[in-house]
Amino acid sequence: MSMILFGGVTFLAAAFRGVTGFGYALIAALGLLFLPSPAAGIPFILVSDLLLTCFLLLDRDQGRVDWAVSGLLLAMGFAGALCGSLVAASLDEGTSRLLVAATIFGAACVALVREPPHWLRHRAIGGAIAFTVGVLLAAFAVGGPLIAAWLLAGGRDRRTIKGTLAVFFGAVDALSLAGRAMVGAIDPGVVGLLATYTAPTLAGFAAGRLLSARLGIEGWRRLASGGLFAVAVAGLIQTAVTLGLSLTTPS
């Protein structure tokens, strides 16, 4: 039953990504609760997110990139991803589950902020955020809304934000997987997860793209904000449950 539930989560996550252009990893990470260990689940999310990113960049309307800031983001994101791979290799299963749940909640809360404060716009802050997101993506496959908040605060052209995020996530996901492989932080079980869940993930993305073509701007905003609110609530509940289990389980 838990495997069926994870399949449903990755389908919904991919559909949300297909509609909004973001949020796959944020939602799919909620499904890690249904897997025996996040050691295979997190690499699966990274691979799936990378695959969906490639499809997104093939869309000319979605794939425009702001190259003026991409260099900074990629350089700092790469550095963070290397550090995050080391963090992932050093965490035990219980700590990893707790940190994933807390990161989901925090990232979803950030994503709910429609107008980030202007003081976020400085390039030094952008570099620090990119490094932090690189660590979070490599270790927990979650954290992207922080980069989106910085881009929005800087007054960047909103038409290029999805493409810029896609380039950043795709590159950092790839390096995160490479870093995890080098430090032995990829569970062999990821092969089985890819064989089982790639099809429902792609089906969900296709369904999301079809729905996106029928949604107006207002419908898109309502779906995006409602979905993020639901993720924030689910992340808070998951954090509380995981923390409760960690406190009640004898060491």
pLDDT at 106: 81
For residues 173 and 50, the answer to whether their CB atoms sit within 8 Å is yes
Measured CA to CA, the distance from residue 176 to residue 10 in angstroms comes to 20
pLDDT at 123: 87
Estimate to the nearest angstrom the gap between the alpha carbon of 111 and the chain centroid: 11
Residue in the block written with tokens 């539930």? 5
Please list the pLDDT of the chain residue by residue as tens digits (251 residues): 788 999 999 999 999 988 887 789 888 988 888 887 777 899 999 999 999 988 888 876 666 788 888 899 999 999 999 999 888 888 877 777 778 878 877 877 776 776 777 777 788 888 998 999 899 888 888 877 788 778 877 777 767 877 888 889 889 999 999 988 888 888 888 999 999 999 999 999 999 999 988 887 788 778 877 877 888 788 777 777 777 766 665 55
Give start and end residues of each alpha helix (H) in the chain.
2-20, 24-28, 38-57, 67-90, 93-111, 123-140, 145-153, 158-182, 190-214, 217-248
Measured CA to CA, the distance from residue 101 to residue 41 in angstroms comes to 13
Measured CA to CA, the distance from residue 13 to residue 6 in angstroms comes to 10
Length of the chain: 251
For residue 149, what are its two tokens?
């908040």
> Global pTM?
0.83
pLDDT at 198: 96
Measured CA to CA, the distance from residue 156 to residue 121 in angstroms comes to 10
For residue 193, what are its two tokens?
């997860």
- 8-state DSSP, 215: -
Q: How many CA atoms, within 13 angstroms, populate the side-chain half-sphere of residue 181? A: 10
Is 66 strand, coil or helix? coil
Closest CA to 130 of 81, 175, 180: 81
pLDDT at 62: 62
For residue 66, what are its two tokens?
């702001």
